[in-house]
């Protein structure tokens, strides 16, 4: 069980957040798009911290689980908390893949593949535009104004 409130944003919160998104963020997060390979701002990020959902701020991945997959998108072998992701069968473009969405807001993040490194063997391949980054020691975002643990430094 996550220590974060996974209740979805209200309709009013969704409208406010959506209004502040760029066209690329809307295309990826809300319309299940993909950013171009090797272009994302977090592809080469080497800082310690936590990657959060760009839409609702939920922590998704720790930098300690990030690895260079060579695919052109930020990749991780394990989520921050299993409860923070939902998986959906994706048969678009003539492929069978597993889409990943934020468990709280339903925003599209990317896809997960079974070809990652140990210990999980998973490659969570994400769009940088679907993420925000919080450096270690800084407060996690509290986009939905729910209070701790959001709005405080990551304690896990």
- pLDDT tens by residue, 99-147: 999 999 999 999 999 999 999 999 999 999 999 999 999 999 999 999 8
Q: How confident is the model at residue 155 (pLDDT cuts 50, 70, 90)?
A: confident
DSSP reduced 3-state for 138:
coil
103, 109, 42, 142 alpha-carbon torsion, rounded to 10°: -30
Q: Please state whether the predicted TM-score (pTM) of the whole model is above 0.85.
A: yes
**Residue whose pair of structure tokens reads 């709280």 in the numeric block:** 104
For residue 1, pLDDT over 80 is answered with: no
CATH class of domain segment(s) 11-139: mainly beta
Choosing from 53, 56, 105, 125, which is the catalytic residue? 125
Q: Per-residue pLDDT averaged across 80-91, rounded? A: 94
Residue 56 known to be catalytic: no
């Amino acid at each position: 069980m996550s220590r974060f409130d996974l209740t979805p944003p209200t309709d009013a919160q969704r409208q406010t957040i959506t209004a502040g998104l760029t066209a690329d963020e809307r295309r990826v997060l809300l319309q299940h798009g993909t950013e171009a390979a090797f272009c994302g701002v977090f592809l080469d990020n080497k800082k310690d911290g936590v990657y959060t959902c760009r839409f609702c701020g939920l922590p998704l991945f720790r930098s300690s689980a990030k690895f260079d997959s060579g695919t052109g998108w930020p990749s991780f072998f394990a989520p921050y908390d299993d409860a923070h992701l939902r998986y959906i069968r994706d048969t678009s473009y003539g492929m069978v893949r597993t889409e990943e969405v934020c468990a709280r807001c339903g925003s599209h993040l990317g896809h997960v593949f079974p070809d990652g490194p140990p210990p999980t063997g998973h490659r969570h391949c994400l769009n940088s535009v679907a993420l925000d980054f919080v450096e270690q020691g800084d407060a996690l975002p509290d986009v939905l104004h729910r209070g701790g643990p959001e709005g405080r430094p990551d304690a896990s």
